[in-house]
Amino acid sequence: MSLCQRILTRHGLRASPAVMKTTSTSISSTQFRQMHSSKSVATTTTQALLAEFERRSNTIPKPPESRENPMIGIAPAARENVGQKRFADFNLNGRVFVVTGGARGLGLSLAEALAETGGNVYCFDRQPEAGPQWGEASRRAEEYGGSLHYRQQDVQDSEGIDRNIAEIADKHQRLDGIIAAAGVQHLAPAMEWTREEANRMMDINYTGLMMTATSAARQMFKYKCHGSMCFIASMSGSVANKGLLSPVYNSSKAAVVQLARNLAMEWSPIRKDGTGGIRVNCISPGHILTPMVLKNFEEVPGLREKWESENMMGRLAETSEFKGAALFLLSNASSFMTGNNLVIDGGHTAW
């Protein structure tokens, strides 16, 4: 339904078929005025509708112009002595991050990467407690100058996400970025999906991720932190997985990749007040040996062997093999990278 049609409906009016056809495409305010100049619509109502149309047309939000708001100051200055400090671009000492889906598996491994390089990392997950690997991960983080903290938080609870992220940012007077790794999987032929099942998966994998990102962005804007966000998408957002019927999951991951592009466009430029400067990228992993994938192997006999034969390396990934990519994207090492999708799949999508 077009904007004009929505305005008409709101006022209890109906347009002729010809008008409906015209309003299915973009129209100018002059065309709008002409369409509603007939005697069937009172002059005052026409004026009110036109005013509403013009008001909304003139208040459409636009992204900042990147040419006028360049991300200056994010990359090391050319005069700096390269090599003055070993791997300085990867140093996250004192920075603050939130990782969703961080109780176990891939999310915890990525959180480790940030903490082991000095970051203060808060892991959110709907599980009451973190997984068995948490203790060792936390110990290593402290050994290397970082820290890991766990909070039970479901990404479907937007108010809770807002509250927790705001508390963390206020405590440290900063927020430098997030890794959004929370997600669920459900296997079923397309014709067997219910609306409720599809909505739930999209609510977690896409909407929950977007609400996490926007909540974090509000705090990063508040404290003028020019940081980075990493969304965990999947190669499943680019290809259909052989041997696995997961149409909604794959669609949700494709949506995540597109969301990253759009948020990068909106948040990467630095405004004149110093806000912005947030880079947004994705990692699209191939098949990883996570608890979710191991469950898939139980549900579909022979699936592991099939997947191992489908990539160039002949095996599946361990969660630890993505730590370097996460550190790269959340640190200054990727200072000229935004709006991109880093595919790490053992060559699965390359042939």
Q: Which of 122, 150, 206, 253 is catalytic?
A: 253
Q: Is 249 a catalytic residue?
A: yes
Q: Is 253 a catalytic residue?
A: yes
What is this structure's pTM? 0.80
Q: Which of 249, 272, 306, 323 is catalytic?
A: 249
Query: What is the rounded CA–CA span in Å between residue 66 and residue 277?
Result: 10
Q: Which residues of the chain have pLDDT under 70?
A: 1-42, 56-58, 69, 71-84
Residue 21: the pLDDT is 42
69-96: per-residue pLDDT in tens? 676 555 655 555 555 678 889 999 999 9
b/e string for 158-175 if b means 16 or more Cβ within 10 A? Answer: bebbbebbbebbeebebb
What values do phi and psi take at 212, rounded to 5?
A: -65, -45
- Where do the CATH 3.40.50.720 domains begin and end in the chain? 91-350
Tell me yes or no: is domain 91-350 CATH 3.40.50.720. Answer: yes
108-132: per-residue pLDDT in tens? 999 999 999 999 999 999 999 999 9
